[in-house]
Amino acid sequence: MITCDFCCLSAEDRKWLLYENEYWLVFFADKQDYPGRCIVAARAHRESLAQLTQTEWLSLKDITDALEQLLKAELGATLLNWSCLMNDAYKAAEPQPHVHFHVRPRYSSPITVDGVSLSDDAFGHHYNNRREDKMDPADRERLYQLLKQKVGLYFKK
Amino acid sequence: MITCDFCCLSAEDRKWLLYENEYWLVFFADKQDYPGRCIVAARAHRESLAQLTQTEWLSLKDITDALEQLLKAELGATLLNWSCLMNDAYKAAEPQPHVHFHVRPRYSSPITVDGVSLSDDAFGHHYNNRREDKMDPADRERLYQLLKQKVGLYFKK
C-alpha cells in the first residue's frame, strides 16, 4: 500500500504549490521557520538520488537555478541551504522514501518584503531543525502569493 | 585574496581524497561522526548551485550515483543524507562560498566492516550537526583504505 506523502498529496498540500513541470513539484513549505522555505519534490516515486533519471536530473538543474534566482531576487535571500535527507520515511515499518529537497533561504540581515519581516538570527551557522515557526498565517499567505506571481519570471513555462 | 578552503587544499586534505574527475573531488571527511561521511566538492570555484555548469551538473549525477552505491554496498549504509549549505563561508568578512556537499551515511542497524563498528543511534531522525566524532584514527584510516580500494568498482575511470 502506498502511504508516501508525496505520492498522496492532499488538497491542502497542493494549495501551496509554487511551480510544477513534468518531473518536479515546488512547494512553499508548510513550516516557514526559515522565511521563504520551499520543498522541491520529484513527481515520480524515486527512493534516492541514484534513482533519478538523467532527464529528471537535468530538469532539477533548471529548478535549482530558478528557485535560487526567485528567492534571492524577490525575498533578498543571501544564500540557500539545500538538503536531501529522507530520514522521516525510515520511521515507518516499510519505508517509502521519496526524493525531496528542503530549501531554506538564509538572510545576512533582516529585510521586510511586502510588509513581512524576514530575519535570520543564526546567519552563518547551520540551520536549526527545531527552529520555531513564528510566521503569522496571513504573512505566509502573502509571501506565497508574492512568489507565485513572480514564478513565471524565473521558471520555464 | 583567495582564502577559500576548497581552492587552497592542504596536503593533509588531499590525503583523504577518494576520487576526482575533471569537475568534482570526493573526500573521506575529516570528521567521521557519521561513519563513512564524505564531502563532494566542485573543482572550480562555484559560489552556489546555480553557478554550476550543465557539464558539472551532469558529472555530479555520476558522482552521487557512484557514491551511493559505494557506501551502500561496501559499508552497508541504508541511506545517505545529502546537504549543500555553505553557511560557514558567511562567517568571513568577504565570503567565498564554494559548492560542496556533506554526505552522511545512515545505518538502520549496527554493522561491523573490516573490524570497524558503524552505528547510528538516531536513525530515522535528522542528523545531529554536533554529534561527537568517536572514530579512532586507526579505524578512520582503515575505512578510508577499504573504500579507496573499491572506488574503481563504482566510479568512472
Please give the residue of chain B at the shortest CA–CA distance from A91. B124
On the question of pLDDT at A63 being above 90, the answer is yes
Closest CA–CA distance from residue A61 to any residue of chain B (Å):
7
With b for 16 or more beta-carbon neighbours within 10 A and e for fewer, the A107-135 pattern comes to: beeebebeebebebeebbeebeeeeeeeb
Average pLDDT, chain A: 96
**Using 50, 70 and 90 to split pLDDT, how confident is the model at B58?**
very high
Query: Which residues of A, range 9-28, sit inside 8 Å of B by Cβ?
Result: none
Q: What is the C-alpha to C-alpha distance for residues B110 and A119, in angstroms, rounded to an integer?
A: 40
Q: Do A80 and B48 touch (CB under 8 A)?
A: yes
Percentage above 90 pLDDT, chain B: 94
On the question of pLDDT at A157 being above 90, the answer is no
**Using 50, 70 and 90 to split pLDDT, how confident is the model at A111?**
very high
- Rounded to the nearest angstrom, the gap between the alpha carbon of residue B56 and the centroid of all alpha carbons in its chain is 17
Residue pLDDT, tens place only, B11-49: 989 999 999 999 999 999 999 999 999 999 999 999 999
Q: What is the C-alpha to C-alpha distance for residues A70 and A63, in angstroms, rounded to an integer?
A: 10
Q: What is the mean pLDDT of residues A75-103?
A: 97
Residues of B in contact with A127 (CB under 8 A): 85, 87
Closest CA–CA distance from residue A131 to any residue of chain B (Å):
13
Q: What is the C-alpha to C-alpha distance for residues B140 and B147, in angstroms, rounded to an integer?
A: 11
pTM score: 0.97
What per-residue confidence (pLDDT) applies to A18? Answer: 98
Q: Which three cell numbers stand for residue B108?
A: 538502520
A 10 A CB-CB count for B108 gives: 14
Cβ neighbors of B45 (< 8 A, separation 6 or more) are B2, B4, B6, B7, B96, B98
Q: Do A79 and B108 touch (CB under 8 A)?
A: no
What per-residue confidence (pLDDT) applies to A3? Answer: 80
Percentage above 90 pLDDT, chain A: 94
On the question of pLDDT at A134 being above 90, the answer is no
A41 in Cβ contact with A6 (< 8 Å): yes
What per-residue confidence (pLDDT) applies to B64? Answer: 98
On the question of pLDDT at B134 being above 90, the answer is no
What per-residue confidence (pLDDT) applies to B2? Answer: 73
On the question of pLDDT at A2 being above 80, the answer is no
**Using 50, 70 and 90 to split pLDDT, how confident is the model at B74?**
very high
Which of B50, B69, B79 lies at the smallest CB-CB distance from A90? B79
